[in-house]
Structure 1
């Protein structure tokens, strides 16, 4: 009993401290220490027997292992996002989409601008920073309540694009080495669920916005608004070329290079952005430097959470939890989906949830004969559900740091778009796979 209390208590401690604004690099090992003590895990290597893993080793194996596997991808992705931003290419694509769709469809324009950039390989956080000024301008002209801006941006970035087949976002690539699949795994079901997510989510978001407008809500300007529009932008069609490079290169080389194909694809995106848009750069070197720092922060935070998982998974309580998840009656995909959802939710990280769960659950389900492509797509989609609870890094950054909103005002719509809609879609995906679609 105390073992399970230690595991659950450690996860709650992690969540509470993160929501209070404490640094994840400190909070994660502190919470892992709490788990280790209450589960009787030896704290230091000399105290561990030959068949035991101690706290220090367990944590650092998880932390260092994640960095070793994913650092170059984080680095290339962050730099690509920053050079797209610094050259004005990200703004150019966003503005072009808005102009084509029209002001009457301001919300849809924001969603699609985020979707195109995300599916083209630009970092989720960079997309949010790049699109936010335009979102403020659009909401102001349409006189819509600004508390819905985070929901619109997150819906376009973290749902039907982030975890769909072919996406260059890391959430779609983590399952590959564990399941022997490709980034296009389960593409038939992925296409259906992405369309469902886009249509249903947009309908629900607009329903909430219209209700708020009927209740008298409108756009409220702030003195801190920065809505300056950059005029020296490259042509939007030229700006799209680096995004296409990322998708095409990853498609061509994913069979031969596996995970490394994404590194090559992102490098091609960086190089093509520089070649095509070099006269528009404000400071290319500074953009590369900022991207590098951003990559270190992002992978450090995620690795800290994975290190927590490295300690959690050597505890007796974690073994009991895995036994429970894998013994859920019915389709094994349900157990896999629930396991990844829960871990991603408690850690506030979609990539962290996958990295903790897949090394344990992947071999188990493959030995059971579960279709690896179905498992890949289900796990990827499941990771993008509870990771967006209020304490999630993307939720906190987008709502508070970028949009300047409070969780009380912005999170209901944000949570509906990034938690409720993806969960419903995961259920649809499991049903479709159980019916044999795409298998």
Structure 2
């Protein structure tokens, strides 16, 4: 079993190391999964395993293909929406208007607020990144800020104080309901305090680091892949906001009945609205759709590669032992629950995965002990959004590599600070506040 644990955590370490080195995830993820497989004694192929038993090929490809089957159309419509907003000049128009109102130094705040509104409106985290990136690029260009901080701003607005807060329609806030019998507003008082803390502390940290980089002479550096054309005329910023409102409203209306499939309708409607409102401003709508499609394919392939790694990890005996150990941690059940969910989310690269694996084991045990279900709901929700953002996480790779075109070396330090460290502090704060009776 010791060898199994070395394989488990060694495989994750290898995945993180090679990802930080900039290697292609489509090679790195299966290679790391193979390391886990060999040290845990899993068969390589289904032909070498008993019928229905776990093996490297089946478990990796089930995770890989399952994610594509679930998310491809949402990635596609999200990427196309982002591109038509960019090509029509709508993103640039909104950006210039925001900069004129709140000042160039607050460009990051504008991105954070845009991401927060969309995330709390029910739009998928991946789709938010696709949708807001063109506006973020325009804002950072206008403000002449280093572009390597864009992924951190996108992620901070999406995955911290909004994703896991009370009332959020994101899946990370809804999974505990099934196991704990709570509702989406569980522990809202503590949730509000933690969310405000994460927002203020994270924004202060981000602006401090950006200012330090600017003082060191860093500026916005354009690339050949950027939209270079200098527009003489831009669409009206208020009309340009309509497609974003369309996405938000439609996803909200259909969220209960269609769940995440509502995003396909919402984002398609947003793209159509962008075209109808700003069609005379497009430079090449066909190319925008093609570029969006290619971007979606690259993004979902990278993310699926990491999900496949998680599929192999979950099949090992070492993983089951690790989950058992963490769910039996002595002391406050809130600490044990938070730690178990966070670590499993880190191993699988998924915040929702961390909850879905840990809660069926934790919930009955802790509820029998008389643990406050609302407190447990909010604590595990917040903690699930921490270690899921290690360098190898699917959302991390998609945002940094596929959407923003940055390297982990440049973009991840601040990204990790805001999406791992800040939520961990938030989870600790939540445990403390619940423990003193709030």
Instruction: Name the TM tier (shorter chain).
Output: 0.7 to 0.9
Q: Relative to structure 1, is the Cα distance of residues 155 and 65 closer, same or farther in structure 2, using a 3 angstrom cutoff? A: closer
1:123 match: secondary structure: helix
Alignment equivalent of 2:357, drawn from 332, 357, 360: 360
Question: What residue number does 1:4 align with?
Answer: 5
Question: What residue number does 1:271 align with?
Answer: 272
- More displaced, 295-304 or 384-393? 384-393
Q: Relative to structure 1, is the Cα distance of residues 344 and 291 closer, same or farther in structure 2, using a 3 angstrom cutoff? A: farther
Question: What residue number does 2:45 align with?
Answer: 44
Question: What residue number does 2:311 align with?
Answer: 310
Q: Relative to structure 1, is the Cα distance of residues 243 and 25 closer, same or farther in structure 2, using a 3 angstrom cutoff? A: same
Contact 1:168/1:246, CA 8 A, preserved across alignment: no
Q: In the TM superposition, what is the alpha-carbon distance from 1:161 to its structure 2 partner?
A: 4.2
TM-score with structure 1 length normalisation?
Answer: 0.79
2:161 match: secondary structure: coil
Q: In the TM superposition, what is the alpha-carbon distance from 1:249 to its structure 2 partner?
A: 2.2
Q: 2 CA distance for matches of 1:397 and 1:182?
A: 31
1:282 match: secondary structure: coil
Question: What residue number does 1:30 align with?
Answer: 31
Q: In the TM superposition, what is the alpha-carbon distance from 1:358 to its structure 2 partner?
A: 3.8
Q: Relative to structure 1, is the Cα distance of residues 228 and 79 closer, same or farther in structure 2, using a 3 angstrom cutoff? A: closer
Question: What residue number does 1:19 align with?
Answer: 20
Question: What residue number does 2:160 align with?
Answer: 159
Q: 1 CA distance for matches of 2:237 and 2:177?
A: 33
- More displaced, 423-432 or 18-27? 423-432
Q: In the TM superposition, what is the alpha-carbon distance from 1:42 to its structure 2 partner?
A: 1.5
Q: Relative to structure 1, is the Cα distance of residues 51 and 13 closer, same or farther in structure 2, using a 3 angstrom cutoff? A: same
Contact 2:67/2:304, CA 8 A, preserved across alignment: yes
Q: 2 CA distance for matches of 1:65 and 1:392?
A: 17
- More displaced, 223-232 or 270-279? 223-232
- More displaced, 24-33 or 322-331? 322-331
Task: Please provide the CA RMSD for this pair.
Answer: 3.9
Q: In the TM superposition, what is the alpha-carbon distance from 1:319 to its structure 2 partner?
A: 0.7
Contact 2:40/2:318, CA 8 A, preserved across alignment: yes
Q: 2 CA distance for matches of 1:39 and 1:77?
A: 38
Q: In the TM superposition, what is the alpha-carbon distance from 1:276 to its structure 2 partner?
A: 2.3
Q: In the TM superposition, what is the alpha-carbon distance from 1:423 to its structure 2 partner?
A: 1.7
Q: 1 CA distance for matches of 2:161 and 2:44?
A: 42
1:21 match: secondary structure: coil
Q: Give runs of aligned pairs for residues 110-189 of structure 1, distance below 5 A.
A: 111-112=112-113, 115=116, 121=123, 122-125=127-130, 127-139=132-144, 151-152=152-153, 154-164=155-165
Q: Give runs of aligned pairs for residues 53-64 of structure 1, distance below 5 A.
A: 53-64=54-65
Contact 1:175/1:354, CA 8 A, preserved across alignment: no
Q: Relative to structure 1, is the Cα distance of residues 172 and 73 closer, same or farther in structure 2, using a 3 angstrom cutoff? A: farther
Q: 2 CA distance for matches of 1:139 and 1:235?
A: 23
Question: What residue number does 1:217 align with?
Answer: 216
Q: In the TM superposition, what is the alpha-carbon distance from 1:47 to its structure 2 partner?
A: 1.9
Q: 1 CA distance for matches of 2:56 and 2:244?
A: 43
Q: Where do 5+ consecutive residues of structure 1 fail to align?
A: none
Q: In the TM superposition, what is the alpha-carbon distance from 1:267 to its structure 2 partner?
A: 2.8
Contact 1:118/1:124, CA 8 A, preserved across alignment: no
Q: In the TM superposition, what is the alpha-carbon distance from 1:220 to its structure 2 partner?
A: 5.1
Question: What residue number does 2:246 align with?
Answer: 245
Q: 2 CA distance for matches of 1:406 and 1:70?
A: 24
Q: Relative to structure 1, is the Cα distance of residues 17 and 106 closer, same or farther in structure 2, using a 3 angstrom cutoff? A: closer
Contact 2:128/2:158, CA 8 A, preserved across alignment: no
Q: Is 1:382 paired with 2:380?
A: no
Contact 1:93/1:113, CA 8 A, preserved across alignment: no
1:264 match: secondary structure: helix
Q: Where do 5+ consecutive residues of structure 2 fail to align?
A: none
Contact 1:154/1:414, CA 8 A, preserved across alignment: yes
Q: 2 CA distance for matches of 1:291 and 1:171?
A: 27
Q: Relative to structure 1, is the Cα distance of residues 170 and 287 closer, same or farther in structure 2, using a 3 angstrom cutoff? A: farther
Contact 2:92/2:138, CA 8 A, preserved across alignment: no
Q: 2 CA distance for matches of 1:292 and 1:403?
A: 15
- More displaced, 309-318 or 195-204? 195-204
Contact 1:81/1:126, CA 8 A, preserved across alignment: yes
Q: Deviations over 1:151-204 (max 9, x none)?
A: 555534543345556667776688889889987776665544332222222233
TM-score with structure 2 length normalisation?
Answer: 0.79
